[in-house]
Amino acid sequence: MSKGMSGPMCDQIEVFAVCPADAIERCGAKAFSLSQVDDSGESRPFPIVVVRTFGDDYLGYVNRCPHDSLWLNIGSGEFFSSDRSFLRCARHGARFEIDTGLCIDGPCTGQALEPVALAVIEGDVCLCGIKLLEDDRFSEPFEDGDETMDITIHPD
């Protein structure tokens, strides 16, 4: 869903709604499988995770561990350490600061998750600074319990 408007963190640039803000519980996270079209016109996967913090901030990261370049939530689908103080890669246990994405423990210590610019606008979590074309088939991704959705993104 294109918002095509400015917002508090996305001044004068086009933004696109990813999901309703209340679709993610506080101290929760949700994965989205997006597709981005690169400069050569090739479509490539752009998986992201949106995290809602205890303080009610929304943070986005590319869902790709710096260690093996694979998604974090293998198996259980869980993104957090057992005490929910850190994001955690389920493959080899790397732990990441929630606020910064910096790995503080594990095989990629000192590396960081790639941030994705987000803003909450009119009750929706929105991607900022990208042009996105949606496939309407995935416009209601939460109706069937599927926690992922597919969106095509074109660079500016």
In the complex, the residues that contact ligand FES under the rule CB under 6 A are 65, 67-68, 70, 89, 91-92, 94, 106-107
State in angstroms the smallest separation of the CB of 114 from ligand FES: 14
Residue with smaller CB distance to ligand FES, 62 or 120: 62
What is the Cα–Cα distance from 118 to 51, expressed in whole angstroms? 10
Residue with smaller CB distance to ligand FES, 30 or 67: 67
**Alpha-carbon separation of residue 96 from 18, 103, 153 (angstroms):** 23, 4, 27
Strands laid side by side in the 95-97 sheet: 86-88, 95-97, 103-105
Residue with smaller CB distance to ligand FES, 33 or 73: 73
CA angle 86, 89, 90 (to 5 degrees): 120
Residue with smaller CB distance to ligand FES, 47 or 141: 47
State in angstroms the smallest separation of the CB of 45 from ligand FES: 16
State in angstroms the smallest separation of the CB of 82 from ligand FES: 16
State in angstroms the smallest separation of the CB of 47 from ligand FES: 13
**Alpha-carbon separation of residue 122 from 118, 132, 155 (angstroms):** 13, 18, 24
